[in-house]
Amino acid sequence: MSIINYAAKEINFKVVYYGPGVAGKTASLQHVHRSLPEGNKGKMISLATGDDRTIFFDFLPVSSLSVRGFVTKFQLYTVPGQVYYNMTRKLVLRGIDGVVFVADSQFERMKENVESFRNLEENLREYNYELDRTPCVIQYNKRDLPNAAPLSYMEYLLNRRARRVPSFETVASRGTGVFEALNTVSRMVLLSEFGQEQEVQRNAS
């Protein structure tokens, strides 16, 4: 849910990193936080358990290039991945403009990936959002691990809807591919809010 403030000359968007537990959502945000210069980021906040699992959300405000004199700001959130935290996961989705789905590439985690993706669709529906109309990209994370499933298999499992979304091979712990995914989803968010109809459709197909 974007917020345009003509007085402050700011446009604010909310992007949520979604996916199963320990897939690399927090690691992705930490890379963004580490890499951006001071002027382009705020403080990163993590609400985590003692063993570093996100219990509510991580939060990182970042700012991007100005568009026609308006500073574009993206508030990045993660959700807790564990199945039993669904209520808090749903709360974080409130008012989103875009989603980065972080999938765990390890073969044995495919079931969790598929379940989490379905859970995303269900939770979006509760806010009357449809995944096909929400800017979304997929990060296939942990591509450096020896037991990573082939990309085509993961695409078959997670990205064979009528509207296929852009997907990226990432290694969040090293930062590989993280900004490519973030820049793509933020462009999609901007286009869906301020672009021409046909450009939005072209971008989504």
The number of C-alpha atoms within 13 Å of 70 and in the hemisphere containing its C-beta is 17
Q: Please state whether beta strands 70-78 and 10-18 pair in parallel, antiparallel, or not at all (unpaired).
A: parallel
For other proteins, which is the closer residue by CB, 60 or 158? 60
Q: Please report whether residue 127 would count as binding other proteins according to CB under 8 A.
A: yes
Q: Please report whether residue 7 would count as binding other proteins according to CB under 8 A.
A: yes
Q: Please report whether residue 88 would count as binding other proteins according to CB under 8 A.
A: yes
Binding-residue pattern over the window 183 to 202 for other proteins, x denoting contact by CB under 8 A: x--xx--xx--xxx--x---
Cβ–Cβ contacts within 10 Å for residue 100, how many?
A: 27
Q: Please report whether residue 75 would count as binding other proteins according to CB under 8 A.
A: yes
Count, residues near other proteins per rule CB under 8 A: 54
Please, what sign has the CA dihedral across residues 115, 120, 121, 123?
positive
Query: 54 vs 100, 101, 170, 193, CA distance in Å?
Result: 16, 16, 20, 30
What residues numbered 28-67 form the site for other proteins, per CB under 8 A?
32, 35-36, 40, 42-43, 45, 47, 56-57, 59, 61-62, 64-65, 67
| CA 91 – CA 131 distance, rounded (Å) | 17
Cβ at position 184, least distance to other proteins in Å: 9
Cβ at position 110, least distance to other proteins in Å: 29
Report the length, in residues, of the chain: 205
Residues in contact with other proteins by CB under 8 A are 1-8, 12, 14, 32, 35-36, 40, 42-43, 45, 47, 56-57, 59, 61-62, 64-65, 67-70, 72, 75, 77, 87-88, 91-92, 94-96, 127-129, 178-179, 182-183, 186-187, 190-191, 194-196, 199
